[in-house]
Structure 1
Amino acid sequence: MDYALKTATPGENRESLGSAWQALKPLLGDESQHITIAVVCVIVSTAANLLGPVVTAQIIDTAIKHGDYGLLLRYAGLLAAVYLVGLAAQYLQTLRMGTVGRNVLFKLRGRLFDQLSRLPIAFFAQNRAGDLISRVNSDTDKINQFFSQALMQMFGSLFRVAGAGILLLVLNWRMGLIALAPALAILVITQMLSRWVKHANRKSLESLGTLSGDVSESLANFQVIVAFNRVDYFREKFGAANQRNYRASVTSGVASGLFAPLYTLASSAGYILVLGFGVWLIIQGQLSVGLLVGYLLYVSSFYDPLRQLATVWSSLQTMMAAMDRVSEVLKLKTNLVEIPRDVGQVPRQPGALLAFEGVGFSYPGGKPVLDKVDLMLERGRTYALVGPTGGGKTTTAMLMARLYDPTQGTVYLEGRDIRTFTAAERAAKIGFILQDPFLLAGTVSDNIIYGHPDLGGTGKEVVAERMAALGMSGFLSRFGERGLETPVTGAGGGLSLGQKQLVAFLRAVMREPDILILDEATANIDTVTEQLLEDVLARLPKATTKVIIAHRLNTIQNADEIFFVGGGAVTAAGSMAHAMDMLLGHDRTS
């Protein structure tokens, strides 16, 4: 299954406002009280703003025209009270929507991370970690900003625009049509530009994700960059990515900032048209000065929020682009589904601990790696997989552990289709040790019990007792005086490669799996540490089946059976000498 996340193409409208709302609606289920209060506050604030011009017109046409200063003070007090109520309502609305935005951000990031944890390893092999981090951090923050800052501003502006537009037509329909004409023209332009604005914002977010990916990969491999004295390459690569991000950001900024001056132009045109027509009506005796001032204030009440809507509309397009990228991940389904136990077929080799029957596999868009492979592993035996680089050894091991599913055929574990096992059951039965061990920040003890079904959450004393019972206490001397309390920084920092590999071995062996897979697990360590790790493996129960992928002859020479993996097949090689002949013969023909 192809899990590569797609990039936007010009003119593409991948996520509509309705589908974005459907994706966000579950996150807003617990926010109805906050949203209701915020909407009420928006209505009160809008009403207060629309009431202001009416009071102002009355002040001019009554109190000021007749010199009634007492009435002027009363109207001024009323006007101050109206604006204070509007201010208080707007402040309360900001607080409530800020809470909604933070809650949505918290739940969306949690949901996105949960989704990532359920996706198969194929997804992470096809997508860059930096881009995924950008989706979890930057894109979700764009959505939060829209909810906490722009959403209620958009609703408030819409209410004010609608209310002011209605009053403009009610007070004088001819002046109202003249006042609204520029707005109608600018709305048509907005509709025409919206798709381009969204696309520009999406490309900006994608370029930021690419930049994050380049920085993440470069920093992760910085030792290699320094060792080869290629810091200049790192700088050039970062400079190119930074330049692409700069250009995309400039385009996004131009697109997002285009609406504000257009709406300002429309507002100025509306003012000029209303003022000119209003002065002509005053000359004709059909309009009072106070009503013209009030009318101009309503024109302001119409176009000011319309200008705010221009900014909010750009924020909406950014949110839509961010939601598009987040939704791409949320919509994915894992292809490693569990099937009911009674669905699995009966294997032709019922006595095998693990069996391949007609197994084939190919990566998306690639050639077949395995083709109709039959394989049987028995309990308590040691198997070695040898073959050329890229021949399919690691892929075969990953199919055994169900990190991938075959594209054809079936893998059986204990006579059952491996897909009928839950992830927890499968992890308890199959251990996997990689060439580059993954360690968490914490202590050696934390990493040894990581994922252990019985020791998780226990203290170092319990771990030490369990290691003593398994005869492994002597290995702790390799970590110095602090032993289990030896600190481990991120990605295993603070430990040597041999120490990290020893932790990975102890972590797997203490789970006592039925099958232990070692994928080049001793390739980068010295012979003394390798002997120590062989002692660790010797502590496994006799019934444990071991699958070893290695290039060192001394690592696989004691295997009970050797398989040659290459050319889409897994072939029994017999002796070590025959396996080497097959490997050399493959190299000569390739």
Structure 2
Amino acid sequence: MSTPPGRGPIRRQGGPMMGIGAAEKSHDFKGSARRVLGRLRPHRATLAVILVLTVCSVALNVAGPKILGHAVDEIYSGLMHPRPRGAKAPIDFGAVGRILLLALGCYLVAALAQLVQARLLNRIVQLTVRDLRRDVETKVHRLPLRYLDGQPRGELLSRVTNDIDNVGQSMQQTMSQLLVNGLTAIGVVVMMFTISWWLTLVAMLAIPIVMLVTGRVMKRSQGMFVQQWKNTGELNAQIEETYSAHELVKVFGRGPQVQAAFAAKNDELMTLSWRAQFVSSLVMPIMMFVGNLQYVVVCVLGGLQVASGNLSLGDVTAFVQYSRQFTQPITQLASMVNLLQSGVASAERVFAVLDQPEEPADADGIPQPRGGRVSFEDVSFGYAEGVPLIEHLTLEVEPGSTVAIVGPTGAGKTTLVNLLMRFYDVDSGRILLDGQDIRDIPRSALRSRIGMVLQDTWLFHGTIYDNIAYGNAKATPQQVMEAARATYVDRFVHSLPDGYDTIIDEDGTNISAGERQLITIARAFVANPSLLILDEATSSVDTRTELLLQQAMAALRTDRTSFVIAHRLSTIRDANVIVVMEHGRIVEQGDHASLLAAGGAYARLHRAQFEGAAVDADSADAEAAGRAT
């Protein structure tokens, strides 16, 4: 899509034919992971309870094999050393039963503690993700328009939705397992040392192998996960851009090219996702193989210890269970590498938005009374550094007057309005409103005094009444209806089945383009601004409606300064001042008659618009006559 006129260049994050397999390194894996965990700080008390519950659960689970080992010893002792004659059985099943009940009680309490811990952890994770979404939403509203203009909407939406969801899922699935498995590994090692220190050292030979494999896998797959989520955002941006302009795609027959571009990007994303998941999933089978080798070695060496009388059968049985428990948490920790890396990669993308520079803080100035005098004093501005668009512009606008701004595309007309709205700040010079520098006025106070209607309409999903009342939260129903009647919205609303309660689609596709424009104009009027900005506001309405709107706007201009950006010169003949801009400079200004009489830039625009068709027709007739001759 082309860059909007008067705006800075839109930076695209790669194209549909980006080379497959290009991996991007994580900027700061450890720092981003610590930053994610730092967002849990408001829930420190709950985290302390979770830690206590986890320790209790792990301790009871770890004690289970040792208790069951006593039961094995009791049975083995009964078989190898029968009880005295007269006893009912060679094995003391009462003692065995008491031991088993103790083990069962430990496992039940451990399960209950783990259940409570999981519920609490789930709650704080969801609260953290909620707060992260809130912070990103708040941040977006504080970001300068320069940043938003430079980001594809689909890419930004992907960070706000997909990446935050992935961070939440990764935290949910990894935090509990990291805590439980880490404490389990520590507890198991302690219990193993109490049974046999040298068997423990043999079992722990698996740790260097695990660390080596995990480190290699993380180093290789982290960049793949970063690139996977980056390409997900690019694919979303491509889809959003295509769907929002699907009429143009169909009109120009670009369906096959769009599908081919989507297929290429989709295949690229599939390849990157497959590689990332495959490389990270290698951890699990390798760890299982190492764990099985450890199990065999422990069983053989433990059997030899029982045979030599150095260890009891119950101790060896417990040690074998501990060795499996020791390998299992390490294996599970290694298997979560892909989830952990994917979550941190998404977190980096979210934090990249949160770390963007914000708009400069508002001044503490108090707005002057509403007058409507606007002064541009030696204003210079450029979207890109070193590339000026407006240079040394000076303009004085009297209160209640109508100023029309005309000129070729790219002359800086919309940019002038953007500066007045403080969507951007001037590079040099200043803009005064009623004698006060607009940089000394809080943005909300400044913009509350300005009503703006753009060529591209924006309506939200809701009723026609709600869309009009959006311009003024304190507007009464009577004020909304007056604005609707003044802008001739009332004329077509009564033809709709539900009148003002008619629900408008998200893009307003269930009403005509002209009706959408009328609603946006009514929204600006209900705000009762002291300044009115119309950027090609009547371009989507028919000629009769345009004349009616001109009459309505003339009645509403009392004590209201109006800026009208127009390409159709017929709409601005009655303007008090017509400003002609070329290459960011004012080349002419005056009223319609004086500018035509001057025969300058405005006169050339007027001739090109109103006399061009006649000249072209005369030329065509002459050419046809020549061919006939």
- Aligned residue for 1:438? 458
Contact kept in structure 1, 2:133 and 2:164, CA below 8 Å: yes
- Take 2:12 and 2:64, find their aligned partners in 1: how far apart are those partners? 52
Q: Deviations over 1:471-506 (max 9, x none)?
A: 628540222344432321212232211111111111
- Aligned residue for 2:123? 99
- Aligned residue for 2:491? 477
- Take 2:305 and 2:125, find their aligned partners in 1: how far apart are those partners? 48
The CA deviation at 1:9 is: 8.5
Corresponding position: 1:371 with 2:391: yes
Larger radius of gyration between Structure 1 and Structure 2: 2
Match of residue 463, structure 1, among 480, 498, 503: 480
The CA deviation at 1:83 is: 1.7
Match of residue 148, structure 2, among 124, 137, 140: 124
Q: How does 1:538-577 map to 2 (within 5 A)?
A: 538-574=554-590, 575-576=595-596, 577=599
The CA deviation at 1:552 is: 0.8
Corresponding position: 1:85 with 2:100: no
Q: Deviations over 1:388-407 (max 9, x none)?
A: 22222211221111111123
Kindly tell me: are residues 27 and 529 of structure 1, through their superposed partners in 2, closer, same or farther at Cα, counting changes over 3 Å?
farther
Point out the more displaced range, 74-83 or 154-163.
74-83
The CA deviation at 1:284 is: 4.2
Kindly tell me: are residues 3 and 322 of structure 1, through their superposed partners in 2, closer, same or farther at Cα, counting changes over 3 Å?
farther
Large movers: runs of 4+ above 4 Å: 1-11, 581-587
- Take 2:12 and 2:347, find their aligned partners in 1: how far apart are those partners? 14
- Take 1:415 and 1:258, find their aligned partners in 2: how far apart are those partners? 69
Q: Deviations over 1:188-209 (max 9, x none)?
A: 3323442443322222122222
Match of residue 256, structure 2, among 220, 232, 236: 232
The CA deviation at 1:386 is: 1.9
Contact kept in structure 2, 1:150 and 1:312, CA below 8 Å: yes
Contact kept in structure 1, 2:170 and 2:343, CA below 8 Å: yes
- Aligned residue for 1:152? 176
The CA deviation at 1:157 is: 0.4
Point out the more displaced range, 566-575 or 215-224.
566-575
Q: How does 1:129-208 map to 2 (within 5 A)?
A: 129-208=153-232
The CA deviation at 1:165 is: 2.0
The CA deviation at 1:41 is: 2.2
Match of residue 51, structure 1, among 59, 63, 66: 63
- Take 1:428 and 1:321, find their aligned partners in 2: how far apart are those partners? 40
The CA deviation at 1:268 is: 2.2
Give the 3-state SS of the residue equivalent to 1:214 in structure 2: helix
Corresponding position: 1:212 with 2:225: no
The CA deviation at 1:513 is: 1.7
Kindly tell me: are residues 85 and 411 of structure 1, through their superposed partners in 2, closer, same or farther at Cα, counting changes over 3 Å?
same
Point out the more displaced range, 578-587 or 495-504.
578-587
The CA deviation at 1:64 is: 3.3
Q: Deviations over 1:311-354 (max 9, x none)?
A: 33332222211211111111223234323439x9xxxxxx9822
- Take 2:521 and 2:313, find their aligned partners in 1: how far apart are those partners? 89
Kindly tell me: are residues 397 and 9 of structure 1, through their superposed partners in 2, closer, same or farther at Cα, counting changes over 3 Å?
farther
Kindly tell me: are residues 232 and 57 of structure 1, through their superposed partners in 2, closer, same or farther at Cα, counting changes over 3 Å?
same
- For structure 1, the 5+ residue unaligned runs are 345-350
- For structure 2, the 5+ residue unaligned runs are 1-7, 15-20, 80-90, 610-629
Contact kept in structure 2, 1:146 and 1:319, CA below 8 Å: yes
Q: How does 1:485-496 map to 2 (within 5 A)?
A: 485-496=501-512
Give the 3-state SS of the residue equivalent to 2:210 in structure 1: helix
- Aligned residue for 2:27? 14
Q: What's the TM-score once normalised by structure 2's chain length?
A: 0.84
The CA deviation at 1:539 is: 2.9
Give the 3-state SS of the residue equivalent to 2:176 in structure 1: helix
The CA deviation at 1:3 is: 10
Give the 3-state SS of the residue equivalent to 1:341 in structure 2: coil
Give the 3-state SS of the residue equivalent to 1:372 in structure 2: strand
Give the 3-state SS of the residue equivalent to 1:368 in structure 2: coil
- Aligned residue for 1:42? 54
The CA deviation at 1:412 is: 2.1
- Aligned residue for 2:602? 580
- Take 2:380 and 2:39, find their aligned partners in 1: how far apart are those partners? 40
Give the 3-state SS of the residue equivalent to 2:528 in structure 1: coil
Q: What's the TM-score once normalised by structure 1's chain length?
A: 0.89
1:578 alignment partner AA: G
Q: How does 1:273-292 map to 2 (within 5 A)?
A: 273-292=297-316
Q: Deviations over 1:491-542 (max 9, x none)?
A: 2232211111111111112222222111122223321221122123123242
Alpha-carbon RMSD: 3.0
Contact kept in structure 2, 1:353 and 1:379, CA below 8 Å: yes
Match of residue 501, structure 1, among 517, 528, 553: 517
Give the 3-state SS of the residue equivalent to 1:435 in structure 2: coil
